[in-house]
Structure 1
Amino acid sequence: MQQSSPRDVVNRQLAVYNAHDIEGYCALFAPDATISDLVTGQMICNGIEEIRGVYTKRFAENPELHCIVHQRLEGPTHAIDKETVYGLPAGPLHIMAIYEVRDGLIRSLRFIRWTD
């Protein structure tokens, strides 16, 4: 069986994120995956249960939530996206997202975020 590339995994992650499919979203993360803010070092989620809790709430509270990818770079174990997230109360959020993908699962997601 051929391994999924980081691009394939992150493309699937984008599709389920935009569909607000929490089960599909969580299925793409490793059980011990982390999500953090690269600038502040703040841990946003540590493990799949925290990811499930944060994104279940985010999807429920923001029905117009969706992400558009403007650019992507890919290496053997990483995809780096320039994204804009729309549908948040404070307005569009610009993101540089660094996805570490191993064995077909997202192991870490680190953000640099800013608004206009």
Structure 2
Amino acid sequence: MKKPDTVVQRQLDAYNAHDLERFVAEYSNNVQVFRPPQPEPVLQGMQAFSEHYAKNRFTLPDLHAKVLNRIVSGNIVVDHEEVTGLDPSPRHTVAVYEVEDGLIRRVWFY
């Protein structure tokens, strides 16, 4: 069984490499992405997820995420990240990943 933090690190490495195939390989086909306080997922399912990243993230040449702090508790991984390339200034975000059966099933971005 893949360790949750290993799965999350692999998707982060693929994100920073702008490698969509490697990135989505770490996610469940039933992936759900949430942006609280909105209770419903903003992205649901592999097709919507991969299309979003292909069109809205991996087209940004300076896109890069750096983990400032990581907490692992069971199958939950919480990353405090500094993301550059989205805005003129770096954006600080918190990403909460839920890993099931070796794949990321749910993500909450704060």
Could you give the per-residue CA deviations for residues 63-106 of structure 1, whole angstroms, max 9, x where no partner exists?
11000000011011110010011011353221111000011100
1:14 aligned onto 2:38: no
* Alpha-carbon distance in structure 2 between the residues aligned to 1:65 and 1:42: 26
**Structure 1, 28-37 or 42-51: larger mean CA deviation:** 42-51
1:59 aligned onto 2:44: no
Q: Which amino acid aligns with 2:24?
A: C
Q: Is the 8 Å Cα contact of residues 5 and 76 (structure 1) preserved in structure 2?
A: no
Q: Aligned-pair RMSD on alpha carbons? A: 1.2
1:83 corresponding residue in structure 2:
81
2:47 corresponding residue in structure 1:
49
Classify the secondary structure of the residue corresponding to 1:88: coil
**Equivalent in 1, 4, 13 of residue 2 of structure 2:** 4
Q: Which amino acid aligns with 2:85?
A: G
* Alpha-carbon distance in structure 2 between the residues aligned to 1:109 and 1:11: 14
TM normalised by structure 1 equals 0.88
Classify the secondary structure of the residue corresponding to 2:42: strand
* Alpha-carbon distance in structure 2 between the residues aligned to 1:70 and 1:55: 22
2:34 corresponding residue in structure 1:
36
Which structure 1 segments of 5+ residues have no match?
none
* Alpha-carbon distance in structure 1 between the residues aligned to 2:38 and 2:67: 23
Q: Which amino acid aligns with 2:99?
A: V
What fraction of aligned residue pairs are identical, expressed as a percent?
37
The verdict on how the C-alpha distance between 1:77 and 1:96 changes in structure 2, with shifts beyond 3 A counting, is: same
Which structure 2 segments of 5+ residues have no match?
none
